[in-house]
């Protein structure tokens, strides 16, 4: 860890410690205070940061946020040696010490308004639309996700994040744990995506879907 990074961590930990006496006992107010440990990467508004490759998480459904935070905590996500970004997120997930706190921080993030992100990549929208037919079975024709399939909404995701995650699934860097059925399913699906150009086409199309 660089000096600058350990400084940031020390600062954020001391911020949290400073708030500890005022940490509300429960509820979304407690989630808001816990989120102070997340905003350095995901932003105060939850829109993420291209610089540190942190995704937009504002407005994601509570069930999905809870599942991902738990996955990071138990090593079902972010524990693969080649997962540069996941390895950064994993220790952060472990700053949340209880299942109840996973719930309240997720509730707080779910309540933040989502927004569309800027397009950063070039892809062929028409090709992406054709390829998206497969995806719509789980993520919905409108990209708004489907809890019954454990498939998250994609409409708020940054295009670079979509491409990166598809690459991770395809390479087994995410979805490597067979007990994590949701991620293992998505890993299987990603096997049908030819290459990174096809991933960019999908991301370009998903970007056209309204929130
Ligand atoms: C040091 C920077 C950093 C901090 C601090 C951080 N995260 Fe993350 N987070 C990331 C990165 C990078 C990713 C992307 C991981 C990947 O590529 O799989 C991520 C991914 C996530 C995801 C998965 C989103 C998705 O669409 O699947 C959630 C949820 C999340 N973070 C929540 C949090 C919460 C809640 C906190 C505070 C407890 C937090 N993060 C703190 C960097 C950070
Ligand atoms: C059989 C159902 C299914 C199909 C079909 C499917 N997905 Fe998924 N997808 C999922 C599930 C479940 C997850 C959540 C994985 C997890 O919990 O880690 C997911 C996760 C993702 C993510 C990560 C989102 C995030 O916030 O980190 C992306 C991106 C994605 N899918 C894109 C696609 C694309 C593009 C297609 C079509 C080529 C597709 N999916 C087809 C079920 C599906």
Give distance in angstroms: CA of 67 to centre of ligand 1: 12
Token code pair at residue 74: 């138990």
The residues lining ligand 1, judged by C-beta closer than 6 Å to any ligand atom, are: 37-38, 40-42, 52-55, 57, 65, 68-69, 85-86, 88-89, 92, 95-96, 105, 164
Give distance in angstroms: CA of 133 to centre of ligand 1: 28
CB 177: neighbour CB atoms within 10 A? 17
CB 86: neighbour CB atoms within 10 A? 19
Q: Name the residue of 41, 98, 163 whose CB sits within 8 Å of the most ligand 1 atoms, as the mutation to test its pocket.
A: 41
Q: Which residue has the tokens 């994993």?
A: 90
Q: How far is CA 160 from the centre of its chain?
A: 12
Distances (CA, A) of 192 to 28, 84, 124, 130, 182: 40, 24, 18, 13, 17
Write down the pLDDT at residue 51: 94
Q: What is the pLDDT along the chain (211 residues), one digit of tens a residue?
A: 444 454 455 455 545 544 454 889 889 999 999 999 999 999 999 999 999 999 999 999 999 999 999 999 999 999 999 999 999 999 999 999 999 999 999 999 999 999 999 999 999 999 999 999 999 999 999 999 999 999 999 999 999 999 999 999 999 999 999 999 999 999 999 999 999 999 999 999 999 999 9
Nearest residue (by CA) to ligand 1, atom 38, is 38
Ligand 2 contacts CB of residue 193 (under 6 A): yes
Write down the pLDDT at residue 22: 80
Dist CA 55 CA 58 (whole Å): 9
Give distance in angstroms: CA of 44 to centre of ligand 2: 26
């Amino acid at each position: 860890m660089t000096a600058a990074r350990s400084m940031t961590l020390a600062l954020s930990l001391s911020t949290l410690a400073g708030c500890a006496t005022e940490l509300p006992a429960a509820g979304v107010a407690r989630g808001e205070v816990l989120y102070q440990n997340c905003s350095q990467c995901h932003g105060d508004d939850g829109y993420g940061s291209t610089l540190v490759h942190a995704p937009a998480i504002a407005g994601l459904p509570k069930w999905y946020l809870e599942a991902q935070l738990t996955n990071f905590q138990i090593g079902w996500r972010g524990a693969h040696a080649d997962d540069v970004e996941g390895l950064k997120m994993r220790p952060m997930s472990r700053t949340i010490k209880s299942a109840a706190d996973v719930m309240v921080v997720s509730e707080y993030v779910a309540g933040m308004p989502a927004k569309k992100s800027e397009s950063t990549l070039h892809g062929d929208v028409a090709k992406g639309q054709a390829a998206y037919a497969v995806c719509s079975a789980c993520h919905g024709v409108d990209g708004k996700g489907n809890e019954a399939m454990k498939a998250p909404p994609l409409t708020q995701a940054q295009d670079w994040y979509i491409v990166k995650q598809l690459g991770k699934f395809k390479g087994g860097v995410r979805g490597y744990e067979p007990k994590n059925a949701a991620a293992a399913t998505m890993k299987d699906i990603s096997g049908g995506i030819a290459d990174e150009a096809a991933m960019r086409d999908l991301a370009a199309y998903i970007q056209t879907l309204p929130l």
